[in-house]
Amino acid sequence: MGKNYVTYLLCNFIHEATVTTADNIVILHYTAYGYLVAERARPYLRTFDLNEDSDFINAIYVNGYSGHNQFILGQWPVRSSINDFWRLVLDDHIAVTIVLHDAQSSRRNFPTFWPTAHCTSARYGPVRVTAVRNTDTSEYTIKTFSIRKYVWNPAESFLSKDCFIMQLIFLKSWPENDDLPKNWTSLVNLIDLTQKWTQKNGKAVRPAFIMSKDGIHRAGLYCSLSLCVEQLSKDGEVDVFNAVRNVKYNRPDLVNKVEFECLYSIVTKHIMHKYLAVADESSMISQGLQATAKEEFEMLQYMASVYGINSSRSQIHNAPLSR
């Protein structure tokens, strides 16, 4: 009776989320911006942590063009979930984490979740992270880490011999106050780099973690663009509508109307620049394409309503608990 009562309250509080047991109350401590993930598509933390018995992390799998669960989308870790982020990196052998913000400007308001000094190590729960290399360019900050697991038994804990490398890339060319990217070429180049690190023989072998401050805005646009760029490269054609439909399937609020129109614009410029050798791309997509983008986005919203999915997941009291 008690568990059923708590479950009923939680279901009303978090609206459309599926809650089966009272244990799901742990979600409230991790979701900084009030967005919940679909239970069927979230990653489960499998590595044991002495200080944390939950398998929850506020992230979601998204299929790529060439692979299942090619992306994991999530928010910038809060202090209470930094260890969980590194547990996920270890569990899924994440090849690269793309942070769609600049590291320096973000660290004023968001916690640093990585070792900052060169060749130093930090322990995050059951994971040891060692800073191997740091590279700065005009568009990116690229940090390279070695990831290794602490193996625990009742007598002692020791480091596993197995380790792997993960790249942590911060995007400098997307200012904090801009809702949409102005430097579209840096996004396309970043997608090319990500594919090199995550794919082998044209197939995704390790996932990429795509991170934004709320795990929603910017991240959905980046993944949708990645699907479009890869389809263009492999098939010589592009389907923007189905790329966005795929990205929004598990989290309908990932791409909003403005981002959808921006995606059309970026894909158009990319085609003109790379495939048609047009040097001077228009800064605005044509009125015809704008109309098409508007109609297709309305169709996506309609499809979400037909399947009973709300486009927003809100927990009004959640942010103060997490931040």
- 10-residue stretch averages of pLDDT, the chain, 323 residues long: 32 35 41 62 90 87 92 95 97 96 85 92 94 95 94 62 92 93 95 88 84 94 97 93 93 92 92 75 53 67 52 34 31
Strands (E), 88-198: 96-99, 121-124, 127-136, 140-152, 157-171
With H, G, I as helix, E, B as strand and everything else as coil, classify residue 115: coil
Confidence (pLDDT) at 91: 96
Task: Give the closest residue to 25 by CA, choosing from 6, 44, 42, 40.
Answer: 6
Name every residue whose Cβ is closer than 8 Å to that of residue 198 and which is 6 or more positions away in sequence: 70, 95, 96, 204, 205, 206, 207, 208
Residue type, position 295, single letter: E
Domain chopping of the chain, boundaries: 2-322
Element (H, E) at 91: helix 82-92
**The pLDDT of residue 287:** 53
The predicted structure's pLDDT at residue 19: 38
Instruction: Give pLDDT, residue 27.
Output: 44
Report the relative pairing of strands 96-99 and 208-212 from DSSP bridges.
parallel
Question: Which residues, in sequence order, are CB contacts of 262 under 8 Å at separation 6+?
Answer: 180, 181, 221
* Tokens read off for 158: 């020791």
pLDDT for 309 equals 45
Greatest Cα-to-Cα distance within the chain, rounded to the nearest angstrom:
69
Homologous superfamily of domain range 2-322: Protein tyrosine phosphatase superfamily (3.90.190.10)
Per-residue confidence (pLDDT) for residue 53, from 0 to 100: 78
Q: Can you give the pTM of this predicted structure?
A: 0.80
Distance CA 310, CA 264 (A): 24
Give the model's pLDDT for residue 133: 95
- Give yes or no for a contact between 231 and 240, defined as CB atoms under 8 angstroms apart: no
